[in-house]
Structure 1
Amino acid sequence: MKAATKELKQVAGVTVRRADKTAAFLLIDTEEYHKNLDDILADSSKFVRLTRNPNDDTKREANRTIEAVNAATKAIQLPVISEDFWLGYLYGNVKSHKQGNPLRPIISQCPTPTYQLAKRLNAILTPYIPNRYYVTSSAEFLEKITDSMCDGVIAVPVDETIDLNANRVYRNDSTPTLNIPEPALRTLLAKCTKRAPFTTH
């Protein structure tokens, strides 16, 4: 399967993309695929075009907070960001169940400065969140929303989610208080979730 997918990717004018919410792969005209992505990015209420790469600023600002946390706790709680990084990457999965091959935009943050930090924060926060309130993978999330049969738009209010996490960690008698200062945790969570610069094509 991997060999076939790799071979198809070499075909001029054809883009291989995963179908949304399934494990299937689809072939879509490359020009149509790029046009659909451009239509998504044209929404200025959701996306802002950057004139410079913000990764160095993000790394510097995050490290300032990380070093303060490590000094305050007298132990290395978080790894300093020291490597070179790239922008995230936007791609689209095809909504094969809808006409016109619309895309579900997905931004991969794997190559960004805050990716490993986000994974570390997730590991720190997971014990504070009851099992019934979180999922372990995107596949599990899709399964739950598919089973719910609810109509509407799914949105994650970032500031409210940070508030909920902070209240659970610092104002909950059933778990020990985290030894990372709350303002620092809030700052790092915001940097991991509210800054998502990316490129595409």
Structure 2
Amino acid sequence: MLYNVFKEQQKRLKKLKFEVTECQSGIKNVVSFSTFIEIESHIKKLILKEKEIINERHNKKFTALKIPVNQGEFNNKLVYNLSYRALSSAEESLLTKGWKYAITPNKINNLNVKTDIEYMYYCMNKNRLLNNTDNANKIKTLLNEFGNKLKKKVDNEVPNLSTDELNAITTLLNEHSLVISKVDKGNAIVVMNRSDYLIKANEILDDKRAFKKLNQNLTDKRENEFIKFLLQLKRNKIISPDEYKLMRPETGSRTPEAYFLVKVHKSGQPVRPIISSYNSYNYNTAKYLATLLKPAISTCPSYVKDSFDFARIIKEKKNLPGLMCSLDVSSLFTNVPLDKAIDIAIKKIKLFHPKLTIDDENLR
């Protein structure tokens, strides 16, 4: 929606510029050169005055919303440069756009688009989402139309990055001494020296209670063992064929990877470890177990849905006597007692899914 408004405004601006040029030409033809200069000067003053009024109005709104008016102050809230390297204005401008900023492509690979669309159709057909031939033909037509419209849209796309910002992407990508990452809380960007980042990361990975160094990659071995385990459960009718399909990993599982988010809001800027387990050998099983546990989450006395829910609870309990405290646990997830957590999870799953055929031992 915003994109359409932007495009419409661009068209209007282009039309206005053309009309202004025509007006200027018309005025030049009927007045003397000195008079035209005076008129032009007066118009520029009016434009400048109008800009000042608009800026003042916007600044008042920003102040009321506690948003920094100064661009430099605003950028400092979006980009935390903890490195030794000074960022250029183009690099800073690029990073302030955020981690999820989508760069408009200047061209697309038509073959890739067609291949992806055909693969999508294949997956829909494979998963029996296409009920009959009529539906299949309609969807195929719609997908083809989408591909054609996408190409036209990209061809008419307006670049949303300046040339300097595009060059800054290449510069930062080639700056191997830096690590650019999302911060732990919020959507800001942090720039760190790679050496500092690795030191902080190794401090966490050296914790023998949470991590263990292996001499070889055990992904393939664990994948094979896990598939055999699930097959055995299916043969013994402990799990159904559908449950087996849900939990079985794809062949060639991805090895989980660790990355670290910087806690810029804390002294010393420590890092939080994140283990990316997407498409790992036990990822599908974890998703399945998560669905089993989901009903139990909202029943916990300590459950808070989000910040709005927290505000509602506080408002309702504001007249209760006592002292409200906020506590923080250092390295919470790596310090959770696993055996106890698993026992609690099994009890909750059994409570909310009494017909589940998996016994406690295999569930563990």
TM-score (norm: length of structure 2): 0.43
**Residue 93 of structure 1 corresponds to which residue in structure 2?**
261
Equivalent residue runs for 1:34-183 within 5 Å: 34-71=198-235, 72-73=237-238, 75-76=240-241, 77-79=243-245, 80-127=248-295, 129-133=296-300, 140=306, 149-153=326-330, 154=332, 155-170=335-350, 172=351, 176-183=354-361
Any unmatched runs of 5+ in structure 1?
Answer: 187-201
- 8 A Cα contact 1:78 1:120, kept in partner: no
Separation of aligned partners in 2, 1:110 and 1:135: 26
**Contact (CA 8 Å) 1:55, 1:87: kept in 2 or not?**
yes
Please identify which structure carries the higher helix content. 2
Please give the alpha-carbon distance, in whole angstroms, between the structure 2 residues aligned to 1:66 and 1:121.
14
Matched residues, number: 178
User: How far off its partner does 1:60 sit?
Assistant: 2.0
Counterpart Cα distance in 2 of 1:161 and 1:53: 27
Kept after mapping to 2: 8 A contact 1:69/1:181: no
Cα contact 2:260–2:274 (8 A) shared by 1? yes
* AA matched with 2:173: Q
Matched to 1:166, the amino acid is I
Q: Which amino acid aligns with 1:179?
A: T
Residue 195 (structure 1) aligns with: none
Tell me by how many angstroms 1:90 deviates.
1.1
Coordinate RMSD, CA, aligned? 3.2
Structure with the higher strand share, 1 or 2: 1
Question: How big is each residue's C-alpha offset from its partner over 1:25-47, in whole Å with a ceiling of 9 and x where there is no partner?
Answer: 11111221122212222333332
**Residue in structure 1 matched with residue 173 of structure 2 by the alignment:** 10
Contact (CA 8 Å) 2:263, 2:269: kept in 1 or not? yes
Work out the CA distance in 1 between the residues paired with 2:251 and 2:303: 30
> TM-score, normalization: structure 1?
0.73
Q: Which residue of 2 aligns with 1:185?
A: 363
Is contact 1:88-1:110 (8 Å) kept? yes
Gaps of 5+ in 2: 1-96, 104-164, 315-324
Identity %: 23
Distance across 2 between alignment mates of 1:47 and 1:130: 27
SS at match of 2:269: coil
Residue 146 (structure 2) aligns with:
none
